[in-house]
Amino acid sequence: MSKVLQCCQLTKSYKQGDIETKVLKDLDLSVDKGELLAVVGSSGCGKSTFLHLAGALDTPTSGKVLINGIDIHQLSDKERAKFRNQHIGFIYQFHHLMMEFSAQENVAMPLMIRGDKPKDALLAAKNMLDQVGLSHRIDYRPSQLSGGERQRVAIARALVTKPSLVLADEPTGNLDSDTAEQIYQLIRRLNKTAQTSFVIVTHDLVLAKRMDRQVKLVQGQLSPLFDEGNKQLVTDDANSVLSQNSRPVSDKYV
């Protein structure tokens, strides 16, 4: 199976005066086409840093990030921005929609930035909103939508460019259990339909358990979260790292 994302010996350090802090240390990871991967870990462990590096939003201290075989950090800034628009989608805990634009206009924006004609971009946005169940809300502004609807618009915006990889930072973290379940089902359906790979950062162990694969980020490195087969936590350490941040989820979704 082809690899959509490959991180090779990925390291990210920050210096403050004479003190150097390594947030990520020789991290290795590969994600297959169509795979749903959960990345879990405590607050401040480097999950967002990892997503920024994988999404070409930041530059590693050392190591490589390959998307569809392309070393994205060897590209120029202009080439990297174009590559990101064409191959990577982003979903955040908070939707980051532009409040002055309609749902349709928000979803169309990445295509317009790419250079698509407004008419074509708006049509693609309309079709994408239909896929996420919001065809009746295309003219609504974010302030007129519920939290779950706003997140659906954000998902449509991430997928309208037909990316091979979507990076999601706590996509259900700001939602109630029922709405979070709807968003999960939507992600799973779109994943199957388009064979889009998802890397989902989450504190929610129940959500993580439903992904194809789960890893935990501890001390700058990734390791399996669960034993294969029985889905039991590998170590008590993983449990202690996550328990304080895990959001309760209704038993009917376990």
Q: Is 85 contained in some domain? A: yes
Share of the chain above pLDDT 70, in %: 88
Q: Is 253 contained in some domain? A: no
Q: Is 134 contained in some domain? A: yes
Checking if the pLDDT of 230 tops 80, the result is no
Average pLDDT over residues 9-13: 92
**Full domain range(s) for residue 35:** 3-247
Checking if the pLDDT of 36 tops 50, the result is yes
The encoded tokens of residue 153 equal 């618009």
Q: Is 139 contained in some domain? A: yes
Q: Is 254 contained in some domain? A: no
Condensed to tens digits (0 to 9), the pLDDT of residues 137-147 reads 999 999 999 88
Checking if the pLDDT of 86 tops 70, the result is yes
Checking if the pLDDT of 133 tops 70, the result is yes
Condensed to tens digits (0 to 9), the pLDDT of residues 114-132 reads 899 999 999 999 998 988 8
Q: Is 55 contained in some domain? A: yes
Which residues, 6 or more positions from 15, have their beta carbon under 8 angstroms from its beta carbon? 21
Round to whole Å and give the CA distance between 142 and 140: 7
pLDDT at 206: 84
Q: Is 214 contained in some domain? A: yes
3-state secondary structure of 134: coil
Number of domains in the chain: 1
Which band of pLDDT confidence, cut at 50, 70 and 90, is reported for residue 227? low
Q: Is 137 contained in some domain? A: yes
pLDDT at 239: 47
Checking if the pLDDT of 247 tops 50, the result is no
3-state secondary structure of 97: coil
Q: How many CB atoms lie within 10 A of CB 254?
A: 8
The encoded tokens of residue 27 equal 């991290």
pLDDT at 244: 40
pLDDT at 18: 83
Instruction: Tell how far CA 46 is from the center of its chain.
Output: 14
- CATH number of 132's domain: 3.40.50.300
